[in-house]
A and B are shown apart, each in its own frame.
Chain A
C-alpha cells in the first residue's frame, strides 16, 4: 500500500483516465462532473456530502493516491466563463498524487457563499492541516473536525480573508496604516504563545517544561521563521512551527498583474531559485496559450535552471555545514556561487532575480562567448566539490551530528507531502526530470542520486551529488546547444513579435494591444510542476479569458517540509533541530509566498 514496495516509477501518463473509471464504478457517473482542462490530470467535481468518501476511496485504491500534493481554494464569484461546471461561489480543490501510477487527480468541491463548510481531511492526509488553515485564512472556508483551525499566514488579529475577490489588493485601497502603542501591545500579546491552545501541558509528572521561542529572528532559522519548542532540559518534547512572517501575497498579486508582468514576482518565491521559478509559470502559461517552444529555448532554459540548482545547493551546503558548527566552508561555497553568478550575469544581465524567461521563449539569445564562460565553470566546480566532501562531509564530528538525526522513511515522507532531496534521501527514485520530463529533460543523460536512511546526512550527500549531475546536464547543453530562434513564433508570446508591425496597420494594432494590455489567454486551466531546487514547485493557473490570471496557485515545496518538523523532531535535542533545519533546505519566501 505504500511506496516502500515500489521498485520503479511507471512512465508518466497525462490525463490518466483509469482513476475516473474506478471512481465511476464505485460512485456512479452521475455523482461526478468531469471538467476538461489543460492541467494534465482528470479534474473531477464531487458534492460536499461525497467528498470524504471519494477521498478515502482514492487513498485506499489499489495503487493509492498517497500524497495530498496540494489543497487550496478559488473564489469563483467573478468568473464569467465557466460553462458546464457546477454552480459555485467558492471552490476547494484537492490535488492528489500517486507514485505507483505516476499520475495525478484533482477533486473539486463547490461551495455556496452562505455555507462555507467542509469536512477536514486531516485524518486521511496529515499534511492537510496547514493547507486547510491557509484556506480558512485566505477564504474564510471552515473545516469542521480540524484540530486547530487558526490563521496561518496573516496575524491572528487580521480582519478579512485576503484572497477573496472583494478584498482589496493594493495598499492605496486601504486607509493609511498607523501603529500606535495600544495596537502595538495588542499585536504583541496576540503573538504570545499559549501552550494550552495547542493542547500542550506546562508541566509533566516530575518536571516543568520550558517553552523556548526560537525565532522569528534566530541565526539558524534561515529567515523569519518561528518555532516554539517544548523542552525538557534540552530534549524537545513537542514543537509548533509558525510561519507567515514572510507572506507577501504573491498569489493575490498574480491576480493584478498581466500574464507577462508577473514573471519577475515568480523569481522571488524561492529567492535562491532565480529563473528556476520562472520555468513552471511560463510552462503553464504556454499550455494555456498552446505554445510549443523551439528546441533552443528548452536547452537554454534547462541550462540556466541547472545553474540555479547548483547555486541554491551550494548555498545549502555552506549553511548546512555552518549550522553544525563549522564556520569555514560557507565562505568557499560562496566563492563558487560567485563564479556561477558570473556566468548567469553575463547571460541574463542579472544575478539573483533575472526574470529572464518569457512566455514562449527567453528574453535574449545567448551572448557571444557564453560557451567559454560556462566551460570555465564546469571545469572549476567538480574539484571544489571533491574538496568539500573530503574536508567537511567526511568529518567524523559532522557525521556524528547528522547521521541518524531527523530520519524519516518513504511512507512518512509521502504522507507529509515531502518532495525533492528529502524524498529521494529515503530511497524513493522520484525526480520529476525523469519521472515526468518537461522542458526537454528527456534529451539529457543524467542520474538521480538516491540514499536510504532518510536522515540529515543523506539529504546533504544527495544534494552534493545532484550538483555533479547538474554539471553533466550543463555540459551536455554546452556540447549540443541547438541552433534556432530563442522565441516561439506565436502571437501570444511576450513581448510579441514585432518584425512585421511597420508593414500592416492590423499587425501594429495587435502588437500595441499585446504590449500595453498584455496577451489574452484563452479561458481554461493549466498546471505545471517542476523539480525545483528544494522539491516540487508548481503553478496552477486559472484563466477567465482575460489579460490577467483569475487565480494563480503556487504550490511550493518548503511549505509541507516545515509542516513535517514536529513529526520528525520529537524526542531529539535542540542541536539536532538545528541540523535538521539546515538539512531541509528551505527559504521562508518559498514557504509563505
Chain B
C-alpha cells in the first residue's frame, strides 16, 4: 500500500483553495501581475496571493498580529489538506513544513524601523526563524510531537514530502501533514534582482527568449497516511507517493551544471524508487523557473534520462510565479490534480524551443489523456535537486 495522499490544500496567486487553483489551471489564467499588497518593492510583476494579512488572519481566526504571512499562507493550505481529520491519541501524527524566508516579511518591517531608529517592535522578530512558522501552523491545528522544518531553497517543498514518506515507511509516524510555504518579501525580490534573473516582464519558462523568473508566494500541503492510519481514519487515498530522490549538483553556489548532473541523478533515482518504467511517466511538472540557466539544465537532464522520448512536460510557474520553498509542495498538489482529473497543464507563454535542446513543452490543456504517474521536479540554490513521483492509487 505504501504511502498514500488523502488530503490536499493549496493557496497561490491563482486561488485560495484547490478548486480555485484547478479552475485557473484549466482556464489558462495566470495570477502574475503588478503587486497590490506588498508595497515598496522594485518588482513590476509577481504572483501575489490576493488577500491582505488582515484578511487572512480574519479568515483563519488568528488573533495575534505577531504572525508571519508565511505562517498564514501555510495555515490556509494546511487547514484545507487536513480537512475534517481529528486529532488522535493512537495515530502518531507529524507536521513537516518547508520555507526559505520564514518570517522575513515581518523581520524586514522591524529592520527598517531599527535602521531608522524609529521605535522598532522587537516582538516582530519572534516570527523570524523558519521553525517558528511551522510551530505556529502546528499550534493552530493542534498537532504536537514530530514538528519539523526543512530549508533547502527552492527544492524544500519536495524534500518535506520525501521526508514525510520516509518517516511513515520507517514506522516513526503513522500520518504526516507535509508541505511548504513562502511569502513574498522585499528581501527575496531584491535578492533575485541582484542576481539579474528577475524578469520585469511575464516569465517565459522553456521559451528560447526567456529572461528570468517572477517570484510568487503561496503554500501547498498534503496529508500523507500509512496503512495503520488509513485503517483508523477510513480516509480514501487519492494518490501514492511512490518515488523520491534528492541529489547534490556540487557544481556551483547558484548555477546548475550545464550537463544537468544533479538533476539527472534526482530524476533517475526517483523513478527507480517508484519501480516504474520511464515510459510510464505520463506527465512531468517541471521546475521551469524561466531563467536561462535552470530551464537549459533541466532540459538537458530530461534528455539525459528520457532520451528522445521526453514525456509531455510543462512548468506551471507562469501561472503562480516561483514560490521558492512552497513551489515543490504547490506543484505536488497540481500533480495530484493532474492524476485525479487526467489533465496535463499548459506551459503558458511559450513560443519557441530552447535552441540547444529543442524541447517543446505542452502548451494546451490536455484532457483526453490517462495520467497515471507524474514526475515533479524542484531544483534549488546550492545545487539542491529533488524529484518526486506520484502515481494513481489502485
Q: A and B from one assembly?
A: no
